[in-house]
């Protein structure tokens, strides 16, 4: 059940590069990362690629396979026909470092900007009580493995580099939702932050982030849209605004 | 394609092709484009011609949702379920002028349709990891797209309109000589049920039921409603398309019966 | 090395897994300036792979649980070879460490009354593991990552610089610890991205580099697990203990290759999964060792009842400690009753409905469906032992995590002693929390004790470290060591090393094979020195592997030497030629160290710290008799023995 398959792998760095052709053995039950490793061990020892767990849990081996942002360890070779040439490139939204490795520091900068969880002042450690139904929404977002495929595929920054300052990207909009929906988070200005600092209004909910998420987090439906609605509550809904001014609503 | 500020930005991996996708990614936006265009075209023709939108018989009175509520003196006798509030309309003005803007607004600001037409009509983006043709992008942060935030108000109006449609569907069981039941009733009731499913599965509805609160456990009734809305919301795309289909089908069925092209299949009366 | 990039900190933490991050947070909160150095991107550490949960006797699900019970379970699991002080601290402090995580923003699964839910796990008497579905490790890493961001935001507000007191240097490999005389002076390494060298000067270095799995062929460990910390400690003059104890997780996937080695969490068995052989027999009932015979069900019917009613039934033997299950699977395969690809079958599909499986084991379901096209709700799958954890590691002081080298600390998997001969599931995450924090405190106290005296690195040492790191680029004939043959491909040497360790120092060991392994390791060491790499220093995996090979070889030699020396079978060390657990060996720790100034690995013996009598009295005497020598038991007969022991005897 082995066959020789053709691959095009982008080799290069900031000074330029190109798709290089390789022919590599593929065995039954393998994923693309297995093949990249074989390529490294037999033909291209200095081929740069990030990987860690090889189990779809750490989100390190993000790349673009036949043009689609994917995890190399979760791309099964049986999803291709043996005659197919598989093209592997680095993420095309972030600056390249070398070969399949890109500089993803954009994401760490965005992570640093979101105000951290604000623990409730009146509860000591061990006193937290939360119902399972109340934590489930935020738990969905905490499944995120930070592979940054959503950040890569999002056209807001992929196609408009200048938006990188104003827009935090899907990964950090789900972080915003996670904190805003946390039953015990003490901050109340997360929706305003999402609008003013994270640029949630830039998102036009075209859902590519949801499509590429390897954890199947419903990024758009469960995080971004609910956050947009919460922004409406605070910023665009005259009735809710009026209600809060005259003290009809607690939140 | 404008990629110099996108995938061709200095520092990113230099790759000649704007996209390396090998699948037929253009099919989905094309189908969306054709589907939505076809609906708009049909709607324009039907509202402009203003014919065959109402038909009445011994056991039925079918009013097309495209003309409901009919509140002008131009309306055919018996089609004005809520009285006539206006005089005669000039040609080309839709009979359902009171509700059409809101229905259109509801669908235009719908989170699903936004995705559909941003991709298919505005190509922003045409498909995932395929560059969009625009040089600059501000999303929904400025006028007019900032108005998308009014979706919940259109939702409230859509609920009222769905009530009107429901009334129409009930009224349809009554003709000049009393109660009856025919295929047209099935069509109208089916259409109304699906319209409700689409309307109540709206993201704003989901937010209003309980999405906006953080402690479901303290609001069991709202949480119950939220779960129902969420179930429908999971099928929002399918319902968005299905209801376009049933609206057209309902209108066309009534038009065909009204014009005498076909006879309504009668079960009772 | 005048152009060398230099940074100065109070504490350097090497490794950004759970232990490293907890240590860094603690040191920073104690007011020190801290740098975290990690080989991968921040947030990718191997801790994310931990599935089951964090063991802590909070008693949320069963209020009978207490630190004493947790202590006994851990010591029993470790076959009484553990450092008892570490086990005691661990059991006592774990609940506080878990609760603390909630204040950082962690969201555990909840009980009905809103507390942290706890699940059953092999070797734990009560439901004890705080968890988030089956992705607890990810939750832990993310929580710490976000806590660090939170501390950085505080610093941004206070100093205008987020990284003023806590900075993460990602994708950076440390190749050498530098010393000033006998004390630690910092760490030397290179940025993976550029290949440029960098020196971190600091009076305290905390090793938190994890394990050694990459020395074995089938492993659940990621590429980072090359034993760097173990090797750095050895070369700096610290000791490794208990290196012969390597845990093979019983249920790693053996087929297909895309998931080979990947774990199937113990929860699959905890929630009802059973192990069968090729004859369809539930074989674990045949493998309950005498020491456990009272705690486990004898029939399938009783074992099955336990899932519903744990008060009145004994648990099924599928939940025996990991070493027992791993050995049982190994025996079945050897007896010819294995599955097609050399494992046994694990089946949960015939035990639970697909909905329940997806709800209880979402990550498992998702992982195998997507990575391997295997649907665990519909079919059984092939599992077998996979190298998972090393119990042994750097010898540390139980309270401060300090090593034999002043200024050098170690915590997490890289440290040794806590888990004895075998680790219980769930005890590794709690280990990270408890001893990560203690290492942070230990380092802070050490630095405070130094006053203004700061050690500094010598120019000669830095030159040497830089030269050694560049060796793989100079594999041409002139610079190669005398007598060596052609340049070697580091990938090939690595593959052969893994083969040697798996075949000859694997789960079941024999004297002849271990000696053979030691011979082969010598040969591989020469070949590793000849490992040559192509290309340049910028993100060059071939070069990185060539350097990691040194660490793997050091660690492998320690494992083999200790495995040869210990003539008994205990926990993660099984000798076919010495199949019995011998109470005389219980009190012996094997210590591995380097003779200063040479590359000679020496093995010495050291007594296991004595278990204080008040802790010993927590056990029934009948149980202790299985582990301790009659002489060791006499302490219980003295005037200090507690009434419980007397009661048990009566």
**What's the pLDDT tens digit per position in B192-234?**
999 999 999 999 999 999 999 999 999 999 999 999 999 999 9
Query: Is residue A250 situated within a structural domain?
Result: no
Chain B partners of A90 at a C-beta cutoff of 8 Å? 13
* pLDDT tens string C48-95: 998 889 999 999 999 999 999 999 999 999 999 999 999 999 999 999
- What's the whole-number mean pLDDT along residues A199-222? 97
Answer whether A17 sits within 8 Å of B214, measured CB to CB.
no
Contacts of B165 by beta carbon, 8 Å cutoff, 6+ apart: B65, B68, B191, B192, B195
Confidence of residue C155 (pLDDT cuts 50, 70, 90): very high
**Cα A53 off chain centre by:** 17
Residue C647 has pLDDT above 50, yes or no: no
Contacts of C108 by beta carbon, 8 Å cutoff, 6+ apart: A135, C98, C101, C102, C116, C117, C130, C131, C132, C139
Query: Is residue A13 situated within a structural domain?
Result: yes
Residue C290 has pLDDT above 90, yes or no: no
Confidence of residue C644 (pLDDT cuts 50, 70, 90): very low
Distance CA(C256)–CA(A30), nearest Å, equals 7
Whether A211 and A121 map to the same domain: the answer is: yes
Whether A18 and A141 map to the same domain: the answer is: no
| Torsion angle in degrees (nearest 10) through CA of C606, C609, C613, C619 | -90
Distance CA(B196)–CA(B202), nearest Å, equals 10
Taking the complete model, does pTM exceed 0.90, yes or no? yes
Residue of B nearest to A206 (CA): B115
Residue of C nearest to A76 (CA): C371
Confidence of residue C645 (pLDDT cuts 50, 70, 90): very low
Residue C410 has pLDDT above 80, yes or no: yes
Distances (CA, A) of C563 to A4, C229, C396: 42, 20, 21
**Residue among B115, A50, B29 at smallest CA distance from C42:** A50
Q: Is C161 on the interface with A (CB under 8 A)?
A: no
Chain A partners of C149 at a C-beta cutoff of 8 Å? 111-112, 114, 116
Q: Is A11 on the interface with B (CB under 8 A)?
A: no
Per-residue model confidence (pLDDT) at position B1: 59
**Residue among C4, C39, C387 at smallest CA distance from C207:** C39
Question: For every residue of C237-287, which 3-state class applies, written as one string?
Answer: CCCEECCCCEEEEEEEECCCHHHCCCECCCHHHHCCCEEECCCCCCHHHHH
Q: What are phi and psi of C346, to 5 degrees?
A: -110, 130
Higher pLDDT, C232 or C485: C232
Answer whether B22 sits within 8 Å of A134, measured CB to CB.
no
Query: Is residue A251 situated within a structural domain?
Result: no
Answer whether C49 sits within 8 Å of A55, measured CB to CB.
yes
DSSP 8-class letter at A232: I
Per-residue model confidence (pLDDT) at position C483: 54
Cβ atoms of B14 and A17 within 8 Å: the answer is yes
Answer whether A126 sits within 8 Å of C109, measured CB to CB.
no
Answer whether C135 sits within 8 Å of A41, measured CB to CB.
no
**Shortest alpha-carbon distance between residue C628 and chain A (Å):** 38
Q: Name the helix (H) or strand (E) containing C390.
A: strand C381-390
Tokens linked to A44: 């291209």
* Residue C287 CB neighbour total at 10 angstroms: 17
| Torsion angle in degrees (nearest 10) through CA of B236, B239, B243, B246 | 180
Picking from A66, A93, A204, the nearest residue to B22 by CB comes out as A66
| Torsion angle in degrees (nearest 10) through CA of C627, C629, C632, C635 | 80
Classified as helix, coil or strand, B154 is helix
Answer whether B139 sits within 8 Å of A199, measured CB to CB.
yes
* pLDDT tens string C166-213: 999 999 999 999 999 999 999 999 999 999 999 999 999 999 999 999
Q: Is C102 on the interface with A (CB under 8 A)?
A: yes
Residue of A nearest to C168 (CA): A108
How does the average pLDDT of chain C come out, rounded? Answer: 92
Confidence of residue C481 (pLDDT cuts 50, 70, 90): low
Whether A72 and A111 map to the same domain: the answer is: no
Tokens linked to B17: 């092709």
Selected catalytic residue, list C135, C269, C380, C438? C269
Residue C412 has pLDDT above 80, yes or no: yes
Answer whether B132 sits within 8 Å of A155, measured CB to CB.
yes
DSSP 8-class letter at B101: H
Distance CA(C419)–CA(C242), nearest Å, equals 10
Q: Is C223 on the interface with A (CB under 8 A)?
A: yes
DSSP string, B208-230: IIIIT-S-GGG-HHHHHHHHHHH
Domain boundaries, chain B: 24-268
Question: Any idea which of A34-43, B71-80, C272-281 has the lowest mean pLDDT?
Answer: B71-80
Q: Is A134 on the interface with B (CB under 8 A)?
A: yes
Q: Angle, nearest 10°, between helix axes C228-236 and C541-565? A: 70
How does the average pLDDT of chain B come out, rounded? Answer: 94
Higher pLDDT, A144 or C363: A144
Whether A112 and A226 map to the same domain: the answer is: yes
Q: What are phi and psi of A87, to 5 degrees?
A: -100, 130
CATH (domain of A38): 3.10.20.30
Picking from A102, A203, A231, the nearest residue to B139 by CB comes out as A203
Cβ atoms of C242 and C592 within 8 Å: the answer is no
User: What are the strands, taking DSSP E only, across C302-343?
Assistant: none
Residue C639 has pLDDT above 70, yes or no: no
Q: Is A186 on the interface with B (CB under 8 A)?
A: no
Picking from A53, A128, A215, the nearest residue to C48 by CB comes out as A53
Cβ atoms of C392 and C244 within 8 Å: the answer is yes
Looking at A102, A117, A132, which one is the last position of a domain?
A102
Q: What are phi and psi of C245, to 5 degrees?
A: -95, 100
- Low-confidence stretches of chain B (pLDDT beneath 70): 1
Distance CA(A9)–CA(A89), nearest Å, equals 6
Distance CA(A86)–CA(A132), nearest Å, equals 44
Whether A139 and A216 map to the same domain: the answer is: yes
Per-residue model confidence (pLDDT) at position B34: 98
Confidence of residue C263 (pLDDT cuts 50, 70, 90): confident
**Residue among C284, C505, C321, C295 at smallest CA distance from C421:** C321
Contacts of A178 by beta carbon, 8 Å cutoff, 6+ apart: A137, A138, A141, A142, A223
Cβ atoms of A156 and A202 within 8 Å: the answer is yes
Residue of A nearest to C94 (CA): A126
Domain boundaries, position A92: 2-102
Per-residue model confidence (pLDDT) at position B172: 95
Selected catalytic residue, list C90, C249, C575, C621? C249
Chain B partners of A226 at a C-beta cutoff of 8 Å? 203, 206-207, 211
Distances (CA, A) of C253 to C205, C260, C341, C371: 37, 5, 10, 11
Which residues 13-72 on chain A approach chain C with CB closer than 8 angstroms?
Answer: 13, 27-31, 34, 40-42, 45-60
Answer whether A67 sits within 8 Å of B137, measured CB to CB.
no
Q: Name the helix (H) or strand (E) containing C630.
A: helix C630-633
**Residue among A20, A48, A90 at smallest CA distance from C193:** A48
Chain A partners of B14 at a C-beta cutoff of 8 Å? 12, 16-18
Distance CA(A221)–CA(B112), nearest Å, equals 10
Cβ atoms of B65 and B168 within 8 Å: the answer is yes
Which residues 225-264 on chain C approach chain A with CB closer than 8 angstroms?
Answer: 255-259, 262
Classified as helix, coil or strand, A199 is coil
Whether A226 and A122 map to the same domain: the answer is: yes
Chain C partners of A59 at a C-beta cutoff of 8 Å? 44
* pLDDT tens string A76-111: 999 999 999 999 999 999 999 999 999 999 999 999
Confidence of residue C484 (pLDDT cuts 50, 70, 90): low
**Residue among C139, C167, C151 at smallest CA distance from A115:** C151
Chain C partners of A172 at a C-beta cutoff of 8 Å? none
Residue written as tokens 């999971």?
B234
How does the average pLDDT of chain A come out, rounded? Answer: 95
Whether A114 and A24 map to the same domain: the answer is: no
DSSP string, A20-71: EEEEEEE-TT-BHHHHHHHHHHHT-TT-----S-SSSSS---EEEETTEEEE
Distances (CA, A) of B151 to A181, A200, A234, B199, B201: 22, 16, 15, 12, 13
- What's the whole-number mean pLDDT along residues A166-184? 98
- What's the whole-number mean pLDDT along residues C434-462? 95
Count of positions (residues) in chain A = 251
Picking from C223, C224, C257, the nearest residue to A30 by CB comes out as C257
Query: Is residue A240 situated within a structural domain?
Result: yes
Tokens linked to A131: 């119902």
Q: Is A159 on the interface with B (CB under 8 A)?
A: yes
Distance CA(A58)–CA(A225), nearest Å, equals 26
Picking from C96, C150, C153, the nearest residue to A125 by CB comes out as C96
Residue C454 annotated as catalytic = no
User: How many CA atoms within 13 Å lie on the side-chain side of C83?
Assistant: 24
Answer whether B217 sits within 8 Å of A206, measured CB to CB.
no
Residue A235 has pLDDT above 60, yes or no: yes
Residue of B nearest to A70 (CA): B129
Task: Sort C482 into a burial class: Cβ within 10 Å, 0-12 / 13-18 / 19+.
Answer: exposed
Whether A97 and A109 map to the same domain: the answer is: no
Picking from B20, B132, B137, the nearest residue to A163 by CB comes out as B137
**Residue among C152, C199, C151, C170 at smallest CA distance from C15:** C170
Q: Name the helix (H) or strand (E) containing B25.
A: none
Looking at A71, A102, A133, which one is the last position of a domain?
A102
* pLDDT tens string A159-174: 999 999 999 999 999 9
Whether A239 and A125 map to the same domain: the answer is: yes
* Residue B41 CB neighbour total at 10 angstroms: 10
Per-residue model confidence (pLDDT) at position B97: 84
Whether A126 and A228 map to the same domain: the answer is: yes
CATH (domain of A222): 1.10.1060.10
Per-residue model confidence (pLDDT) at position C650: 34
Classified as helix, coil or strand, C179 is strand
Residue of C nearest to A75 (CA): C371
Tokens linked to B215: 């402690």
Chain C partners of A78 at a C-beta cutoff of 8 Å? 373
Distance CA(A197)–CA(C584), nearest Å, equals 66
**Shortest alpha-carbon distance between residue A135 and chain C (Å):** 7
Tokens linked to A249: 């609503």
Residue C419 annotated as catalytic = no
Distances (CA, A) of C77 to B24, B208, C478, C497, C571: 57, 52, 54, 30, 8
Picking from B6, B17, B128, the nearest residue to A212 by CB comes out as B128
**Residue among B70, B69, B101, B74 at smallest CA distance from B90:** B74
- What's the whole-number mean pLDDT along residues C147-151? 98
The strand pairing partners of C590, in sequence order, are C605
Residue of C nearest to A142 (CA): C139
Whether A116 and A215 map to the same domain: the answer is: yes
Size of interface A-C (CB pairs under 8 A): 183
Confidence of residue C598 (pLDDT cuts 50, 70, 90): confident
Contacts of A among chains (3+ CB pairs under 8 A): B, C
Mutate to test the interface with A, among C41, C152, C374 (most CBs of A within 10 A): C41
The strand pairing partners of B21, in sequence order, are none
How many domains are contained in chain A?
2
Answer whether B124 sits within 8 Å of A90, measured CB to CB.
no
Whether A133 and A117 map to the same domain: the answer is: yes
**Residue among C108, C105, C4 at smallest CA distance from C54:** C108
Distance CA(C385)–CA(C219), nearest Å, equals 9
Residue of C nearest to A145 (CA): C138
Confidence of residue C646 (pLDDT cuts 50, 70, 90): very low
Picking from C48, C223, C539, the nearest residue to A51 by CB comes out as C223
Residue C366 has pLDDT above 90, yes or no: no
**Residue among C544, C207, C131, C585 at smallest CA distance from C405:** C207
């Amino acid at each position: 059940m082995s066959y020789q398959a053709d691959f095009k792998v982008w080799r290069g760095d900031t000074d330029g590069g190109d798709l290089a052709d390789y022919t590599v053995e593929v065995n039954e039950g393998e994923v693309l990362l297995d093949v990249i490793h074989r390529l490294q061990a037999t033909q291209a020892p200095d081929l740069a690629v990030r990987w860690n767990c090889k189990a779809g849990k750490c989100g390190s081996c993000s790349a673009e396979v036949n043009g689609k942002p994917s995890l190399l360890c979760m791309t099964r070779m049986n999803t291709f026909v043996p005659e197919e040439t598989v093209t592997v490139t680095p993420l095309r939204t972030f600056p390249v470092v070398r070969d399949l490795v890109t500089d993803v520091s954009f994401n760490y900068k965005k992570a640093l900007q979101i105000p951290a969880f604000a623990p409730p002042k009146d509860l000591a450690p061990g006193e937290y009580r939360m119902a399972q139904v109340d934590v489930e929404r935020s738990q969905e977002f905490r499944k995120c493995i930070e592979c940054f495929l959503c950040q890569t595929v999002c056209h807001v920054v992929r196609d408009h580099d200048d938006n990188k300052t104003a827009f935090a990207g899907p990964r950090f909009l789900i972080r915003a939702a996670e904190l805003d929906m946390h039953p015990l988070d003490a901050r109340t200005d997360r929706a305003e932050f999402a609008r003013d600092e994270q640029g949630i209004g830039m998102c036009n909910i075209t859902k590519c982030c949801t499509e590429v998420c390897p954890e199947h987090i419903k990024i758009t439906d469960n995080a971004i849209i609910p956050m947009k609605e919460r922004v409406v509550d605070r910023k665009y809904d005259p009735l809710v605004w009026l209600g809060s001014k005259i003290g009809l609503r607690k939140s | 394609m404008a990629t110099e500020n996108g995938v061709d930005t200095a520092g990113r991996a230099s790759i000649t092709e704007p996209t390396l996708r090998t699948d037929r990614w253009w099919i989905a936006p094309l189908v969306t484009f054709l589907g939505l265009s076809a609906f708009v075209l049909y709607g324009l023709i039907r509202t402009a011609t203003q014919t065959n939108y109402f038909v009445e018989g011994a056991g039925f009175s079918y009013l097309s949702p495209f003309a409901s509520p009919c509140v002008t003196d131009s309306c055919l006798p018996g089609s004005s379920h809520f009285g006539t509030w206006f005089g005669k309309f000039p040609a080309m003005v839709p009979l359902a002028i009171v509700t059409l803007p809101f229905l259109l607004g509801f669908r235009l600001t719908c989170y699903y349709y936004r995705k559909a037409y941003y991709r298919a009509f505005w190509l922003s983006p045409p498909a995932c990891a395929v560059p969009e043709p625009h040089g600059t992008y501000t999303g929904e942060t400025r006028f007019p797209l900032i108005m998308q935030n009014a979706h919940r108000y259109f939702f409230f109006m859509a609920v009222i309109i769905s009530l009107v449609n429901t009334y129409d569907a009930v009224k349809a069981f009554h003709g000049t000589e009393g109660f009856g039941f025919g295929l047209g009733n099935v069509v109208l009731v089916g259409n109304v049920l699906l319209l409700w499913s689409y309307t109540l599965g709206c993201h704003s509805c989901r937010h209003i039921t309980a999405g906006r609160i953080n402690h479901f456990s303290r609001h069991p009734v709202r949480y119950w409603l939220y779960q129902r809305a969420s179930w429908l919301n999971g099928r929002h795309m399918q319902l968005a398309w299905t209801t376009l289909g049933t609206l057209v089908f309902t209108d066309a069925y009534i038009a065909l019966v009204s014009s005498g092209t076909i006879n309504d299949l009668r079960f009772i009366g | 090395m005048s152009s060398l990039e230099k940074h100065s900190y109070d504490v350097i933490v090497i490794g950004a897994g759970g232990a490293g991050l907890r240590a860094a947070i603690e040191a920073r909160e104690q007011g020190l300036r801290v740098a975290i150095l990690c080989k991968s991107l921040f947030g990718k550490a191997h801790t994310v792979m931990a599935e089951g949960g964090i063991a802590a006797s909070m008693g949320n699900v069963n209020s009978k649980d207490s630190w004493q019970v947790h202590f006994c379970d851990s010591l029993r699991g470790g076959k009484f070879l553990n450092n008892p002080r570490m086990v005691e601290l661990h059991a006592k402090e774990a609940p506080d460490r878990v609760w603390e995580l909630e204040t950082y923003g962690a969201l555990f699964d909840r009980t009905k009354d809103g507390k942290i839910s706890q699940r059953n796990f092999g070797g734990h008497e009560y439901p004890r593991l705080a968890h988030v579905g089956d992705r607890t490790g990810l939750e832990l890493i993310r929580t710490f990552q976000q806590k660090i961001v939170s501390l950085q935001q505080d610093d941004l507000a206070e100093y205008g610089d987020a990284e003023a007191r806590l900075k993460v240097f990602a994708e950076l490999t440390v190749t050498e610890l530098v010393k000033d005389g006998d004390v630690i002076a910092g760490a030397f390494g290179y940025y993976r991205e550029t290949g440029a060298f960098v020196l971190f000067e600091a009076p305290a270095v905390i090793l938190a580099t994890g394990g050694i799995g990459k020395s074995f062929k089938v492993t659940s460990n990621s590429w980072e697990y090359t034993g760097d910390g173990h090797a750095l400690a050895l070369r700096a003059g610290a000791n490794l203990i208990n290196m012969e104890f390597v845990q093979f997780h019983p249920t790693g996937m053996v087929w297909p290759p895309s998931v080979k080695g990947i774990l199937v969490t113990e929860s699959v068995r905890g929630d009802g999964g059973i192990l069968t052989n090729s004859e369809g027999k539930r074989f674990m009932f045949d493998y309950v060792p005498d020491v456990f015979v009272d705690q486990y069900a004898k029939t399938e019917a009783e074992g099955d009842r336990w899932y519903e009613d744990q008060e009145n039934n004994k648990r099924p033997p599928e939940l025996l400690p990991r070493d027992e299950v791993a050995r049982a699977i190994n025996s079945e395969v050897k007896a010819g009753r294995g599955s097609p690809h050399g494992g046994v079958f694990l089946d949960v599909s015939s035990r639970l409905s697909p909905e329940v499986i997806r709800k209880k084991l979402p990550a498992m379901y998702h992982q195998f469906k997507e990575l391997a096209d295997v649907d665990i709700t519909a079919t059984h799958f092939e599992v077998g032992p996979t190298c998972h954890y090393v119990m042994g590691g750097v010898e540390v002081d139980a309270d401060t995590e300090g090593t034999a080298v002043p200024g050098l600390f170690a915590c997490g998997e890289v440290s040794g002693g806590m888990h004895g001969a075998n680790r219980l599931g769930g005890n590794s995450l709690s280990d990270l929390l408890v001893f990560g924090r203690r290492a942070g405190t230990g380092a802070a106290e050490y630095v405070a004790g130094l006053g203004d005296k700061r050690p500094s690195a010598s120019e000669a040492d830095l030159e040497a470290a830089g030269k050694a790191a560049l060796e793989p680029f100079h594999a041409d004939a002139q610079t190669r060591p005398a007598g060596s043959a052609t340049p070697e491909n580091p990938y090939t040497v690595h593959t052969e090393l893994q083969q040697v360790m798996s075949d000859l120092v694997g789960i079941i060991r024999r004297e002849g094979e271990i000696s053979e392994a030691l011979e082969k390791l010598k040969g591989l060491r020469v070949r590793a020195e000849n490992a040559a790499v192509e290309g340049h220093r910028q993100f060059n995996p071939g070069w990185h592997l060539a350097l990691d090979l040194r660490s793997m070889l050091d660690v492998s030699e320690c494992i083999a030497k200790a495995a040869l020396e210990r003539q008994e079978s205990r926990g993660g060390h099984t000798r076919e030629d010495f199949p019995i657990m011998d109470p005389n060996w219980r009190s012996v720790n094997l210590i591995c160290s380097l003779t200063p100034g040479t590359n000679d690995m020496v093995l010495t013996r050291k007594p296991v710290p004595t278990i204080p009598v008040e802790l010993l009295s927590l056990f029934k005497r009948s149980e202790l008799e299985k582990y301790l020598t009659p002489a060791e038991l006499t302490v219980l007969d003295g005037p200090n023995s507690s009434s419980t022991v007397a009661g048990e005897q009566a």
